[in-house]
Amino acid sequence: MVHNPQIILGIDPGYGRVGYGLVRKEGSSISYIMAGCIETEKTEPHARRLHAIYKQLTSLIIQHAPHTLATEQLFFAKNTKTALRVAETRGILLLLGEEHHIPMREFTPLQVKVATCGYGKADKAHMQTMIMRIFKLASPPKPDDAADALAIALAAAYTRDTTLDL
């Protein structure tokens, strides 16, 4: 049976930093393409920072043509101002998905940890170790946001999209 390769863009939404991780799924094989982080300057106006995130994510989408966007659900925040700004970044992701006709999948932190480590209470170090093992990397992707984005992409790669089953 021939499997069409699927590119998954995992995004760890943030405000000052947005992690991204690209993986390729072909059948049961998942391979690393790249990971990184979009950083915005604290001194820049809010709208300009959002625009920079939008432009850089658009560039990644155009360059890699992902079949799926995957992100983490925002479910709780101690700092309301930060939560609102992260939600605005998530709005950019929704917009980009619609603009480029790419389905969006969302995962809770628990789902990401279970998919990556098999354990919902895994800590950051365990997550990074698993990312290194799965992709045979010499060191964990830096910064942490990039490793988190790869874990989100893995959650999408390892789980079936049940939203398509009507």
User: In the Cβ-directed half-sphere of 138, how many Cα atoms lie within 13 Å?
Assistant: 0
161 is in an annotated binding site: no
Query: Which tokens in the block code for residue 119?
Result: 């354990």
Chain-centroid distance, C-alpha 29: 19
Dihedral of CA 91/39/37/125: which sign?
A: negative
CB neighbours of residue 113 within 10 Å: 21
> What sign does the dihedral 112-116-119-123 (CA atoms) show?
negative
Distances in Å between the Cα of 140 and the Cα atoms of 93, 127, 149 are: 25, 9, 12
Q: Tokens at residue 128, please?
A: 């990074």
Please indicate if the annotation marks 72 as binding a ligand.
yes
Catalytic residues: 12, 72, 145
Which residue positions form the known binding site for Mg(2+)? Answer: 12, 72, 145
